[in-house]
């Protein structure tokens, strides 16, 4: 028996695995988009808590595109909210010049708070 066969009816290649022929499904390299930390976190969430959604996206070939979109939305939201929170708390470049340690403390606190908001509103939804 052959290890790989081609089905002209559907245009798919099949590989033999344990006595069965399984379709070789993969995204084309030009369709793959880079996935950042937010997309990776959402992927892990889908695998652990939304397996049906994960399988549907994976088998339809839309997983990479979906994760890239989530990653972009989360990154935009994170950047925008960090700026908003910093403005509200008066964490400015002037404070950075005058007291770097206080500025670092405040900006780190803002980033942690915003990360929790982004995770709650986009990543773990």
> pTM for the full model?
0.74
Whether 66 and 57 have beta carbons less than 8 Å apart is answered as yes
Q: Are residues 58 and 106 in the same domain?
A: yes
Domain assignment of residue 74, given as a range: 32-123
Q: Are residues 13 and 56 in the same domain?
A: no
Q: Are residues 40 and 92 in the same domain?
A: yes
Q: Are residues 45 and 78 in the same domain?
A: yes
Q: Are residues 4 and 16 in the same domain?
A: yes
Q: Are residues 60 and 102 in the same domain?
A: yes
Q: Starting at the edge strand that comes first in sequence, how are the strands of the sheet with 20-23 ordered?
A: 4-7, 12-17, 20-23
Q: Are residues 4 and 44 in the same domain?
A: no
Q: Are residues 59 and 105 in the same domain?
A: yes
Cα–Cα–Cα angle for 76, 81, 83, nearest 5°? 100
Q: Are residues 40 and 21 in the same domain?
A: no
Q: Are residues 57 and 24 in the same domain?
A: no
- The pLDDT of residue 1 is 67
**What's the rounded Cα separation, in Å, for the pair 70 and 56?**
16
- The pLDDT of residue 79 is 98
Q: Which residue has the tokens 């803002």?
A: 110
Q: Could you read off the pLDDT of 45-86 as tens digits, one per residue?
A: 999 999 999 999 988 889 999 999 999 999 999 999 999 999
Whether 91 and 106 have beta carbons less than 8 Å apart is answered as yes
Question: How many structural domains are present in the chain?
Answer: 2
């Amino acid at each position: 028996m052959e290890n790989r066969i081609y089905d002209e009816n559907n245009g798919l290649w099949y590989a033999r695995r344990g006595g069965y022929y399984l379709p070789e499904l993969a995204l084309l390299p030009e369709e793959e988009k880079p996935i950042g930390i937010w997309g990776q976190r959402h992927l892990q969430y889908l695998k652990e808590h939304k397996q049906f959604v994960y399988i549907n996206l994976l088998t339809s070939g839309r997983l990479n595109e979906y994760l890239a979109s989530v990653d972009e939305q989360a990154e935009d939201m994170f950047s925008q909210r960090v700026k908003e929170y910093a403005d509200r708390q008066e964490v400015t470049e002037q404070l950075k010049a005058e007291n770097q340690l206080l500025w670092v403390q405040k900006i780190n606190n803002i980033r942690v708070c915003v990360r929790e908001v982004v995770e709650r509103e986009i990543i773990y939804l």
